[in-house]
């Protein structure tokens, strides 16, 4: 048998093309600017799901614009930002300036995952920088309702993330306030961890309880061996790092991941 050609016909074709985006916008007459913005983001994500979200933490920072163009050409719809402060988690990454810089050069959805202490102090700056989606860790904001509502009121989808070691009882009272729930499959802020299958149980439970009303996201150890199980459990948004950026051909890597979603 010959080698399998993973370069699928849809590679490089975004599910939500420019015409779709215009149609979404035209269908939002009568809404406030903030409601229109959040509704447009949600429609894009719903149409794209299940979809791969490249974690820019793994990209080539010496030429960010080139990286974004390569991802766009490969059909990516959403960019994922892992923001770490060196306090809530031990690692330190980037902040608002990177989000703002990429907002200027792309219309892709910008998904910001805040792994920081006191996120309410900084949420407005990320909103102003151009974030379309912000997830806050329930461990950092045990009473998150006000922050979630304030974020959503400004046209940004808001949600909560939870670490594998955190009891779901901390999250469950607030799930109906979320646009997005991120089930971490590794402990936030630590590299080199294996995929924790507890995330699959949580995704499945949340999908059963919430139906399609909330977008479910998974982050950590997602690759061609785990992505199919994540989709079957209910994940809509699948954050991928080395499984994409570790390959020279992004289109080929994404095609393999998309094929694995269906296996």
- Spatial contact of 48 and 78, defined as CB atoms under 8 Å apart: yes
Q: What's the mean pLDDT when you consider all of the chain?
A: 91
**What span, in angstroms and rounded, lies between the C-alpha atoms of 186 and 57?**
15
The string of pLDDT tens digits covering residues 162-202 is: 999 999 999 999 999 999 999 999 999 876 688 999 999 99
pLDDT of residue 19: 44
- What's the confidence (pLDDT) of residue 190? 75
pLDDT in tens, 214-226: 999 999 999 999 9
The structural architecture, per CATH, of the domain 18-261 is Alpha-Beta Barrel (3.20)
26 CB-contact burial (10 Å; exposed 0-12 / middle 13-18 / buried 19+): exposed
Asked about 224 being catalytic, the answer comes back as no
Helix axes 18-26, 33-48, angle to 10 degrees: 140
Is 201 a residue of the active site? Answer: no
Whole-number percent of the chain with pLDDT over 70? 87
Give me the residue spans of the domains in the chain: 18-261
pLDDT at position 33: 85
In the set 82, 111, 179, 236, the catalytic residue is: 82
CA distance 67 to 44: 21
Is the per-residue pLDDT at 12 higher than 90?
A: no
Summarised one tens digit per residue, pLDDT across range 156-165 is 999 999 999 9
CA separation for the pair 223, 74 (Å, rounded): 17
pLDDT of residue 20: 56
Residue 32's pLDDT is 81
Measured distance CA(257)–CA(251) in Å, rounded? 10
- Selected residue with higher pLDDT from 124 and 1: 124
pLDDT of residue 13: 64
List the catalytic residue out of 85, 111, 219, 236: 219
What percent of the chain lies above the pLDDT cut of 90? 84
* pLDDT higher than threshold 80 for residue 57: yes
Kindly report, residue by residue over 19-50, the tens digit of the pLDDT: 455 444 445 555 788 888 999 999 999 999 99
């Amino acid at each position: 048998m010959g080698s399998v050609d993973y370069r699928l016909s849809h590679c490089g074709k975004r599910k939500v093309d420019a015409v779709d985006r215009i149609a979404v916008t035209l269908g939002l007459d009568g809404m406030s600017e903030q409601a229109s913005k959040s509704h447009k983001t949600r429609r894009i994500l719903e149409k794209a799901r299940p979809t791969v979200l490249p974690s820019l933490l793994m990209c080539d920072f010496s030429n960010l614009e080139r990286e974004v163009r390569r991802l766009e050409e490969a059909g990516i719809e959403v960019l994922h930002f892992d923001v770490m402060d060196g306090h809530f988690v031990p690692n330190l990454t980037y902040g608002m300036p990177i989000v703002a810089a990429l907002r200027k050069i792309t219309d892709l959805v910008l998904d910001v995952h805040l792994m920081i202490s006191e996120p309410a102090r900084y949420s407005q700056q990320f909103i102003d920088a151009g974030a379309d989606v912000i997830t806050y860790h329930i461990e950092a904001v045990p009473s998150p309702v006000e922050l979630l509502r304030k974020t959503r009121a400004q046209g940004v989808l808001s949600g909560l993330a939870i670490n594998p070691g955190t009891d779901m009882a901390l999250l469950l009272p607030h799930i109906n306030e979320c646009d997005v729930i991120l089930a971490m499959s590794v402990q936030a802020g630590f590299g080199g961890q294996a995929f924790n299958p507890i995330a699959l149980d949580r995704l499945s439970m949340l999908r059963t309880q919430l139906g399609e009303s909330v977008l479910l996201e998974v982050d950590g150890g997602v690759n061609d061996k785990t992505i199919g199980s994540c989709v079957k459990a209910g994940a809509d948004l699948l954050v991928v790092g080395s499984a994409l950026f570790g390959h020279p051909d992004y289109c080929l890597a994404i095609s393999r991941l998309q094929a694995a979603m269906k296996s």
